[in-house]
Amino acid sequence: MALKDKKLNSKDCPYCVGKGYFQLLLGGSETCMSCEGSGQKR
């Protein structure tokens, strides 16, 4: 059986892992500067 880990899609932004934002420890979120919130690698 194959392990189903969260695999980083090659199209996903490596900084936010395709989410488009960062989750802040203190609460809230911040838009990823690298992909500008799209979550996609350019």
CB of 2 to Zn ion, least distance (A): 27
Q: Which residues bind Zn ion (CB under 5 A)?
A: 13, 15-16, 32, 34-35
> Which CB sits closer to Zn ion, 2 or 33?
33
2-35 b/e (C-beta count within 10 Å ≥ 16 → b): eeeeeeeeeebbeebebebeeeeeeeeeeebebb
CB of 42 to Zn ion, least distance (A): 9
CB of 6 to Zn ion, least distance (A): 15
